[in-house]
Amino acid sequence: MLKGGAVWSLGTMSGTSLDGVDAALVRTDGVTIEAFAATAYRPYEREERATIRAALGRWPGQTGVEAAAEAVETAHAAVMAPLARAADIAGFHGQTLVHDPAGRRTHQVGDGAVLAEVLGLPVVWDFRSADVELGGQGAPLAPFFHFACAKWIGATEPLAFLNLGGVGNVTWLDPRRAAPELPGACLAFDTGPANAPIDDLMARRLGQARDEGGALARAGRVDAAVIERLRHQPHFFKVPPKSLDRNAFHWLLAAVDGLSDADAAATLTAAAASAVVLGATHFPAPVSQVLVAGGGRHNAVLMEMIAAGMDCPVRPVEAVGLDGDMLEAQAFAHLAVRVARGLPTSCPGTTGVAAAVGGGKISRPGG
């Protein structure tokens, strides 16, 4: 049984960019944030990344999934173990291989029970399945944490948290509301492609992990025809909440096949920015600022393109004292405590589920 009041929770996140595993300690009671503490990062080794990439799109029992699970568990155990001594509970997101909310199923590989034994801690995992099974999108799940962050920074007007991972997602929220699950408090959805197409382009053409700082994109010209095709994709006309699989916009890579490396990078970067700007048209009310987390905030060209399309400041979350590299890991630390306390982790405004839902399984050492 988790002790009362605020506790130290260890959260992890391994995103769709497949770069590695983030881990972070947060002191929280599941409602408010009391303190942030140590963080750690463990990149996937080249072989691990290849193993996981080979299993993308596959369901339990299919070829390569067991090997991917072992790679994910190994990497997580390595980064979590040094921090686990200070924690009362852990939140393990796992690695998403495929996400199909329309089919009411989602697959995050990795077994929380294995980590509970290794770490000697209760581990909360499989955060998305309950929401998806009840008709929700199963994503994004960070909004309730974003709401707590807005309270922590003392925000008094509507604002947005934008995460630029492999896929972009945004949370619009009103911190004047008392709780994140209340009507009008949160609206969240996946904006569209973010780093994934850019990273895939860089890996395929140049053998590099990313367009560092947006340097290649800055040297190129945007193909307006590709962006116009993007703007007419059905996703942007759907009323949120809505979510995407990492490869939902995989056609973008084929669309830039005939372009130079620089022009292709510029076009894919403009596509990511356009997705965010199009998403903002669904906000219930204008926002006072957009706070950006995730690897995409280091891409100066992407940040400039987003800012050019918005009517408010667009800043990295570090501007308000948060850690943009660790925000999602911290989110799952916060959500782990919410699950343990029986509090909801998603609601109609964040995933489209019919009512507020508390997801997640809890595995304890020794079963």
* Mean pLDDT in residue range 151-159: 98
Confidence of residue 55 (pLDDT cuts 50, 70, 90): very high
Length of the chain: 367
pLDDT value, residue 3: 85
Name the H helices within the chain.
46-55, 65-84, 112-119, 129-133, 143-152, 195-206, 215-218, 224-231, 251-255, 261-280, 300-308, 327-340, 348-351
Contact (Cβ atoms closer than 8 angstroms) between residue 7 and residue 336: no
Over the stretch 79-103, which tens digit does the pLDDT of each residue have?
Answer: 999 999 999 999 999 999 998 888 9
pLDDT value, residue 360: 93
354: DSSP letter: S
pLDDT value, residue 1: 67
Of all residues in the chain, the percent with pLDDT exceeding 90 is: 90
174: DSSP letter: -
pLDDT value, residue 172: 98
Give yes or no for residue 69 having a pLDDT over 70.
yes
Name the H helices within 85-142.
112-119, 129-133
pLDDT value, residue 280: 98
Over the stretch 206-236, which tens digit does the pLDDT of each residue have?
Answer: 999 999 999 999 999 999 999 999 999 999 9
User: At 322, is the secondary structure helix, strand, or coil?
Assistant: coil
Domains belonging to the chain, first-starting first, are 7-137+327-345+358-363 (3.30.420.40), 154-320 (3.30.420.40)
Residues 6+ apart with CB under 8 A from 22: 12, 13, 14, 39, 40, 41, 79, 325, 326, 328, 329
Rounded to the nearest 5 degrees, what angle is found at the Cα of 328, between the Cα atoms of 57 and 339?
Answer: 90
172: DSSP letter: E
pTM comes to: 0.92
